[in-house]
Structure 1
Amino acid sequence: MDARLRVAVIIGSTRDGRVGGSIGRWFVGCAARRADIELEVVDLVGFDFPSCYPEEMTESMREFGRVIGSADAFVVVTPEYNRSFPASLKQAIDFAYDEWHAKPVGFVSYGCRSRGHYAVEALRVVFAELHVMAVRDEVAIDLMTLGEDGIPPDSADVAVTTMLDQLAWWALALRDARANRPYIA
């Protein structure tokens, strides 16, 4: 088995003029310095999801499920909209089910002053229902502290390291557990 962990970085905002793309690129740049993970960016803007849940899955839904199924762990990059996370992210999460089970998730959140904290707390509940282990530490960015280049302050790099250390520990433990004993939901 490849020792490197496959981590899907899910960029959850699909709004025009969003900050999520630049926050996601910054995070991937930080995370790419690690030798123990292989990153796959899953930007929801690039998926042609139906506006209503169809009777049969579309190709975009199947592709999203394949990406989630092949990942060992996830990092969700989410804004905070009205004390929660965006509908586009909830819709995508709901397009997979078994593919999420017994894997860890970490969060990179952003917002004004609250740093996306409420979005992450809402996501923790959703992921618990999907049998996903949410790591304790998160990367939380106050949009008021971004530099002119749209990059978070250097102090956020420490949060990235801490969150990824926890994510990697859980990803290895759960990958080994799934290999030795199938997970029963």
Structure 2
Amino acid sequence: MTNPRIAVIIGSTRDTRFADKPTEWFMKRASARTDLDFEVLDLRDFPLPLFNEVASNAWAPTQNEVGQRWQRKLAEFDGYVLIVAEYNHAPTAALKNALDYAYPEWNKKPVTFVGYGSVGAARAIEHLRGIAVELQMAPLRAAVHIQGGDFFAAWQQGKSLDEVTYLEPTVTALLEELSWWTKALKTARETTSPPQEIQVSSSGA
């Protein structure tokens, strides 16, 4: 039996991004798992234009070739870890755009977060939890927040994240929750029919 597959999505595309350090730190720990297989997806490798389709691919096929490639790649996975930067109390535009470019590919799958910044990207992650619910994902309670002096020391002074010991129990909890929810939802997707989606008008009519 093959392991469930998890995509670790780097949510920043800036040339000077910090995201590579927490991604490497997380993958070192995730790769030690024997019950899940992890793969890094870098949004730099999927140069999505700003969403300009006629509708979400829940309703109409995406015309943009990079968008189609992104959707095909996402469909390979059973769960997701987002590496989250916080810009002005929100996730990056690149990450939000990437989330908007898919819909059925995200459905009924778990998602969790590794955030970094002055408050560990806590505010951006709260935004993302609401977005995940709208995409019919299952956002997990456990998340990693690399914050405060530890973030600035790693960013500006080259401190290794391996030295930040309080992160270890949080990443362990994240991986345990992710494993349970990934397996539970994968089983449910494969053995049951999803509930029929009821469309509710947002116009107030």
Q: TM-score, normalization: structure 1?
A: 0.92
- Separation in 2, partners of 1:17, 1:41: 19
User: What secondary structure does 2:129 align onto?
Assistant: helix
> Runs ≥4 in structure 1, deviation > 2 angstroms?
54-59, 146-152, 182-185
Cα displacement (A) at 1:150: 4.8
Per-residue CA deviation, residues 106-125 of structure 1 (Å, 9 max, x unaligned), is 1000111x111001000000
> Identity of counterpart residues, as a percentage?
36
Correspondence for 1:38: 37
- Separation in 1, partners of 2:148, 2:73: 29
Equivalent of 1:174 in 185, 189, 193: 185
Cα displacement (A) at 1:158: 1.7
8 Å CA contact 2:4–2:78 kept in 1: the answer is yes
Is 1:151 the counterpart of 2:160 in the alignment? yes
Structure with bigger gyration radius:
2
Is 1:24 the counterpart of 2:23 in the alignment? yes
AA matched with 2:140: V
Structure 2 vs 1, CA of residues 143 and 13 (structure 1 numbering), >3 Å: closer, same or farther? farther
Correspondence for 2:138: 133
Equivalent of 2:116 in 84, 102, 110: 110
Per-residue CA deviation, residues 61-108 of structure 1 (Å, 9 max, x unaligned), is 112111221111100001111111001000000110011010000100
Correspondence for 1:122: 127
The alignment's C-alpha RMSD in Å is 1.6
AA matched with 2:185: L
* Number of aligned positions between the proteins: 183
Correspondence for 1:47: 46
Deviates more, 1:170-179 or 1:49-58: 49-58
Cα displacement (A) at 1:24: 1.1
- Separation in 1, partners of 2:15, 2:49: 18
Correspondence for 2:203: none
